[in-house]
Amino acid sequence: MRTPDEVEAAREGKDGLRARCKELRARRSAAERAATDSAIAARLFDLTAFQAARVIAPYLSFGTEVETRAIIERAWAAGKTVALPRCVPGTRAMRWYAVTSLAGLARGPRGVLEPAEDPARELDLSARADALAVVPGLAFDARGFRLGYGGGYFDAFLSSFRGTSVGLCREAQLVESLRALGAVDAHDVPVGLVVTEARVLAPAQPAQIRDMRGIRGIRDE
């Protein structure tokens, strides 16, 4: 049975949920976000998947998203290749380019900093089982589904990606079931792991999904 929060969220639809998540995220102070994001990064660094990956492919954080610059710096320090995405206008495709500095990035059509188009630095991540992709989201659930921004770029990427995908999420944006909220479509692709400041979830493990039953909809904390 749906909780009252889930019933209300389902009425809102995806756009309403996105607006609600952005509002909740913006309510947290910069200091709170910094502390939370530092804990999330520490849990990510402890993952065997992160340590073993030769390529780290993160989103470049924007606004109040979980910060990824420390993740990028850590990957460089460990001698890993860092690849950042560039959206292809008029499509749902992203191209990934190896970068050795954040200097020289320019804002793309969605307002996010992107690397320059450079065939010599382009990487085909779909063929890289040794890559770890760090995926953004406004909310994640116990099965690895995410509420994105509506562009479909990461879902298209994940549909052919064979490496490890990790969603970064603050606990306040973690829900039991996005499907119950009417926020999962046929083209949505779940991530392999979800990392919060408090835990690491492997959505394929049923026991962890059962442990999430106490989580209500998108919580107003």
Among 81, 80, 68, residue whose Cα is nearest residue 33: 68
Q: Is 105 annotated as a binding residue?
A: no
Report whether 14 belongs to an annotated binding site. Answer: yes
- Beta-strand pair 81-87/55-58: parallel
Residues in the chain: 221
Give the relative orientation of helices 30-46 and 69-77 as an angle to the nearest 10 degrees. 30
* 16 annotated binding-site participant: yes
Residue 17 is assigned to a ligand binding site: yes
- The b-or-e profile of 145-154 (16+ CB within 10 A means b, else e) is bbbbbeeebb
Q: Is 124 annotated as a binding residue?
A: no
15 is in an annotated binding site: yes
Q: Is 86 annotated as a binding residue?
A: no
CB 197 within 8 A of CB 170: yes
CA angle in degrees (0–180, nearest 5) for 199-74-47: 30
CB-CB neighbours of 64 under 10 Å: 15
Q: Which residues are annotated as a binding site for substrate?
A: 60, 65
Q: Which residues are annotated as a binding site?
A: 14-18, 60, 65
Q: Which residues are annotated as a binding site for ATP?
A: 14-18
